[in-house]
Amino acid sequence: MPVEEIVANVKTLWKFDYEPKIKALRDLYEVAKREQWNAATDVPWDLEIDASGDILDPSQDAFRELDAIKALPEKTQTELSVQNAAWILSQFLHGEQGAMLCCGQLVEAVPDIDGKLYAATQVIDEARHVEVFHRYLTRLHHVYPIDPTLQAVLNQILEADLWQMKCVGMQVIVEGLAMGSFKIMKEGSRDELLRSIVELTAQDEARHVSYGLIYMKDELPRMPEPDRDRVEDFAFAAVDAISGRRPGTGFVSQMAILEQAGVDPAAVLPEIQTKFTDPEFIASQPDPIRDHVLPQLGRIGLITDRTASRYRELGFEV
């Protein structure tokens, strides 16, 4: 396996004043220490899963609603569903590693001791998440590569020169995306072990989003305007890349599941493309960016008169 190399533009800041200054972050640090769990012993790993059975509830799986998919043999439909779960969970796994790397950077780069202590707890949270998703995926026998769009966004966060970009990019946008995706996975999963993993992980992610919101709500108004504008632009670029509202954006590697499940892409892709780009269908589906990320960006004042029209051009109501 190749090792990806990123040259990170991080300033390491030491802080010799150890007195708590941001009470809400110090409180969150206490919660984070208290709520640690052990991925090896607190997860019911002895629950059996049937890797050939439905992991995702067919009634919640958009693929299963397509006529071209319904026309496939039942066994192929189930295999496709397993591969879909494996693809989604592979992206969770790679995203968790990205989060761990980014949090390591936040420990170095944030200027406040409260922010450093809390970020240190998140490094171990993300390590735990890498551990559980990898261990679960072992049972599905296939780990998909990181999606190029996800990797590009994570790289931009890791390479960003302002710590506030890292904090908004990871703690608000990527963590918000994770929260929304975990909710969908929990509601759409039939597998008790997977639901338990997602539930434990989501508890941590909720704290991670809180960190971003608490920290950035006070920090952004203090920033010099040109830097603040850069953070706003950075946030929009990440949303634009991930949300898939323009051709060529969004996650682009999911259709690899077709070949892995033995489905001829030519037989199903036309219907998938028509259905998944239909505005009515998009509006009827849960959307982590629309439902979780944009409200949080709004709460910290990052969708402004200067940038709101760009979000509207993507079809979001802001």
Binding site residues, Fe ion, CB under 5 A? 96, 99, 126, 129, 205, 208
CA distance 304 to 66: 39
CA distance 92 to 39: 16
Nearest approach, Cβ of residue 69 and Fe ion (Å): 31
Q: Which is nearer to Fe ion, 68 or 120 (CB)?
A: 120
- Helix H, strand E, coil C: the string for 25-93 is HHHHHHHHHHCCCCCCCCCCCCCCCCCCCCCECHHHCHHHHCHHHHCCCHHHHHHHHHHHHHHHHHHHH
Nearest approach, Cβ of residue 172 and Fe ion (Å): 11
CA distance 66 to 253: 19
Q: Which is nearer to Fe ion, 212 or 244 (CB)?
A: 212
Q: Which is nearer to Fe ion, 79 or 205 (CB)?
A: 205
CA distance 64 to 133: 24
CA distance 184 to 51: 20
Q: Which is nearer to Fe ion, 130 or 241 (CB)?
A: 130
Q: How many CB atoms lie within 10 A of CB 238?
A: 26
Q: Which is nearer to Fe ion, 179 or 268 (CB)?
A: 179
Nearest approach, Cβ of residue 155 and Fe ion (Å): 17
Nearest approach, Cβ of residue 208 and Fe ion (Å): 4
Nearest approach, Cβ of residue 40 and Fe ion (Å): 17
**Could you tell me which residues come within 8 angstroms of residue 84 by beta carbon, excluding any fewer than 6 positions away?**
56, 61, 63, 254, 257
Nearest approach, Cβ of residue 212 and Fe ion (Å): 10
Are 68 and 271 spatial neighbours (Cβ–Cβ below 8 Å)?
A: yes
Q: Which is nearer to Fe ion, 208 or 245 (CB)?
A: 208
Are 80 and 55 spatial neighbours (Cβ–Cβ below 8 Å)?
A: no
Nearest approach, Cβ of residue 129 and Fe ion (Å): 4
Are 231 and 220 spatial neighbours (Cβ–Cβ below 8 Å)?
A: yes
Q: Which is nearer to Fe ion, 99 or 241 (CB)?
A: 99
